[in-house]
Structure 1
Amino acid sequence: MIAYAAGSVIRFNIVHVENYLGAARSNDPVVWLARVTQGVLAIAYAVSVAYYLKLLAEFLLKPFDTDPALHMLASNAIVTAIIVAIVALALGNGCAASNISRTAQWLSRSASLPALACWRLTNAAADPLPPARVNWGSISLLLGLVITVQGFETSRYLGHAYDQALRIRTMRHAQWIASAIYLAFLALTPFLGRAAEAQGVAGILDIMTIVAPALSIFVLVGAVSSQLSAAVADSIGSGGLMSEVTQRRLSVRAAFALAGALAIAIVWLTDPFEVVAISSRAFALFYALQCCLAFIVARRTRAAGGVRQMGFFLIGMICLIATLVGAPAQG
C-alpha cells in the first residue's frame, strides 16, 4: 500500500512535474529540487546494487557449510568481483545479457507458485499464519523493507523513449502484478513460523526444499539470476543519473566507476540485513522528495486540489519517517 501510494505520486509527477520542468527557467528552485532528487536516486541505485549482490552471494553460499567469519569474507569477495565485472561490462556495452537472467527468474517464479499451491492443497501440516504483532518494532521493520517493492520509479525517467500515458499505464499495471505475486507467495508459503526462524536472508531455499526438493534448484537459479539482473540494471541507472545530474561534467565512464566504488564500500561496511534497511532508506528519501515536488507543483499550477495535496504531504511524511527509522530485519 505504501509503495502504491508512492507510485501514484510519481504518476502525477510524470505529467505535471515533467510539464512544469519543461517550461521552467534553469534558476527555478523546483528545477534544482528535481536535480537533487535525481542525485538521491542515483545514490539509491548504487546502494541497491550492493543489496542485490549481497543477496546473490548469500544464495550462492547457502548450500555450503562455512565458518561465519569465512562466510562473510567469501560473500564480500564474490560481490566485489561481480561489481568490478559489471562496471567493466557496462563500459563495454555488454549488459544486454541481463535479459537472459530476467527470463530465468520468471521461469523460477512460474514453477514455484504452482508448487506452493499444490502443497497447500494436499498437506495439512503447514504452519498457521503467525499472529500479527503491531508495535513500534514491527512498524520500523516494515519501513525498513521498502526496497522489496521498489522499481516502479524507473518510468519517471523514460520520457526520452515513451510517452506519458504509456509510462503511467505500465507503471500502474506493474505494481498490480508485483503486488499479486507478493501476496500470492505469502498466502501459499507453508511454515511461515519456521521461515521467521530461518538462518540468513536465503532461508527461502529451506522452505522450498521442504515443499519440493528438486524445485529448490530452480529457485536458487532464479534467485541468483534475478539479483544479477537487478544489479546490472541499477548499475546502469546509477551511472546514467550521476552523469545527467552533473550535466555531463562527470562522464558516463567515471559515473559508472563512482557508482561501483560506492556499492563496494557499502558491501564491506554492512551485513546483508543492514544493507536492506540502508537501501530502503535511500529509496524512501527519493520518494519523499518526489512527494515534495508533487506538493509544490500542485500548489503552483493548481493541478491538484487541497485533499490531494494533503495526500502528497502525508505520503511524503511516511517516506521521510522510513528514511529516518527504517530498521533491519535481524533480531
Structure 2
Amino acid sequence: MAVLLAIAYAAGWVIRFNIIHVEAHLAEVSFNDPIAWTARITQGVLALAYAVSVAYYLKLLAEFVLKPVAVDPAWQPLGANIIVTIIIALMTLLALGGSLRRVEHLAHGTVSIKIGIIAGLLVALGIAWVSSGIVEPLPPVRLSWASIPMLLGLIITVQGFETSRYLGHDYPADLRIRTMRHAQWIASAIYLAFIALLTPFLSRAAMTEGVAGILDIMALIAPALSIFVLAGAVSSQLSAAVADSIGSGGLVNEVSRRKVSVPVAFTLSGALAILVVWLTDPFEVVALSSRAFALFYAMQCVLAIAVSAKRGTGTMAQRIGFAGVGLICLVAVFVGAPAEG
C-alpha cells in the first residue's frame, strides 16, 4: 500500500507541475501547437478513463448492496450488472433533464458523514486490537514477481487527485496545488492506518469473498457499525460515479470543441460504462480502470517533459523524474492485473 501511495503521489507531483507550467504554455500557444494537441489527446484519454471508472464505482456499489442480501452466488454477478445498468440509465435520464448536477451537490454534502464513518471504522479496529490482540496466526506472505502486476492493477484505488488539473476555471492554481497535496496526505494516512489496524484480522480478511469483504470484518468487530459502513460505501461509490460521469461528458464536449453536446457525450460515456460492466467481473474492472488512469498519468508525464524542455522550466533531475514516473505508468498500462482471477 505504501508503494502504491508513493506512485500516486509521484503522479500527483507531475500534475502539480503541469498546473503551473503546462496551463501557462497552453494559454499562449495556437490551436495547432503539437503540445496543445497532446494535451487534447490527454483529455480524451481521461474522458475514457472516467467512463471506465463509472463502471468500477457502480460495480462496487452493487457488490455492497447485494452483500447483506441472501442471493444465490451464481446469480449475484447478473444481479449486480442489472443494478448497475439501471443506475446508469437513471443517471443518463437525469443528465438529459439537467438534474444530475443537483444529485452531485447532494452527494458532495455527504462527504463529512463519510469521513466520520471512516473515523469510526478506524477507532473500532483500534479498540478491537487493544482489547483482543492478535489471537490468530497471520496468513502466509505470498510475495512474488506476480505481485507487481497486481500492485499496478490497483492504481484506481488511490486515484482522484488529477481532478484538480481541470478546475482552473473555478479555482486558482495555488489553491488547486495545495488542496491536491493535502488530499493525498490525508488519503495516504487513512489507507496506511486502515492496513495497520487490520493486521490482527488479516486471517479473517483473507477468507472473505468479493470486493465487499470489509462488511464481513466489521460484522465481527463492530456489528453496530456495519450498516454505517454499508451506507458510507454506497453513497461514496454513487457520488464518485456521478462526478466522473459529469467529468467524462464535459471533457468529450470540450475536446470536440462543442461539436459533441454534453448530453450526447454523457450518453456515450454511459454506454461505454455499461459495456465494461457486462464484460468484466469486479476484479477485472478494477485493473481495467487502473490501466486507463495509468495511461492518462503517463501522458501527463509526456506533457511535463515537453513543456519543461521547450520553456526551460524545471531541472534535468525533474525531467528524469517525470520520465521515471511515466515509465512506471506505462508498465501499469501493459501489465496491470486483477487482484484475483
- Normalising by the residue count of structure 1, what TM-score does the alignment of the two structures yield? 0.97
Partners of 1:129 and 1:185 in 2: how far apart? Answer: 16
The corresponding residue for 1:257 is 267
1:210 counterpart = 2:215 = no
- 1:145 equivalent to 2:150? Answer no
User: Among the aligned pairs, what percent are the same residue?
Assistant: 63
* 1:46–1:234 Cα contact (<8 Å) kept: yes
Structure 2 equivalent of residue 44 of structure 1: 49
Asked if the contact 1:17–1:294 (Cα under 8 Å) also holds between the matched residues in 2, the reply is yes
Tell me if 1:306 matches 2:316. Answer: yes
- Counterpart of 2:15, as a letter, is I
User: How far 1:301 moved relative to its partner?
Assistant: 1.1
Contact 2:29–2:36 (CA<8 Å) still a contact in 1? yes
Aligned residue for 2:27, secondary structure, equals helix
Q: Distance in 1 between matches of 2:140 and 2:165?
A: 38
Q: How far, CA to CA, are the matches of 2:85 and 2:110 in structure 1?
A: 19
For structure 2, which runs of at least 5 residues remain unmatched after alignment? 1-5
Q: Residues 123 and 287 from structure 1, CA distance in 2 versus in 1: closer, same or farther, beyond 3 angstroms?
A: same
8 Å contact from structure 1 (residues 108, 221) kept in 2: no
String of CA shifts for 1:207-242, please: whole Å, max 9, x gaps.
111111111111111111110111011111011111
Aligned residue among 233, 241, 246 for 1:236? 246
Residue of structure 1 equivalent to 2:231? 221
1:165 aligned residue: 174
Question: How far off its partner does 1:165 sit?
Answer: 0.6
Q: CA deviation at 1:132?
A: 4.7
Give 1:288's aligned residue: 298
1:185 aligns with 2:209: no
Deviations 1:155-182 (A, max 9, x none): 0000001111111001000000000010
AA at the equivalent of 1:150: Q
CA distance in 1, matches of 2:73, 2:142: 31
CA contact 2:59–2:84 (8 Å) conserved in 1: yes
Matched length? 331
Deviates more, 1:79-88 or 1:246-255: 79-88
Contact 1:104–1:221 (CA under 8 A) maintained in structure 2: no
Deviation of 1:125 (Å): 3.7
Matched residues in 2 for 1:126 and 1:223: separation? Answer: 28
**1:250-308 Cα deviation digits (max 9, x unpaired):** 00110111111110111111110100000000000000000010011111111111111
CA RMSD of aligned residues (A): 1.4
Equivalent AA in structure 2 for residue 326 of structure 1: G
Output the CA distance in 2 between the equivalents of 1:125 and 1:151.
Answer: 34
Answer with 264-273 or 192-201: which moved more: 192-201
What letter matches 2:333 in structure 1?
T
Question: Contact 2:81–2:277 at 8 Å: present in 1 too?
Answer: yes
CA distance in 2, matches of 1:275, 1:126: 35
Letter in structure 2 aligned against 1:43: L
Query: What is the Cα deviation at residue 110 of structure 1?
Result: 2.3
In structure 1, C-alpha distance between the alignment counterparts of 2:149 and 2:206, rounded to whole Å: 17
**CA deviation after TM superposition for structure 1 residue 28, in Å:** 1.0
TM-score, normalised with respect to structure 2: 0.94
Match of 2:29 among 24, 28, 41: 24
Structure 1: runs of 5 or more not aligned: none
Measure how far apart 1:69 and its partner are: 3.0
Supply the distance in 1 between the matched residues of 2:137 and 2:129 (Cα, whole angstroms): 11
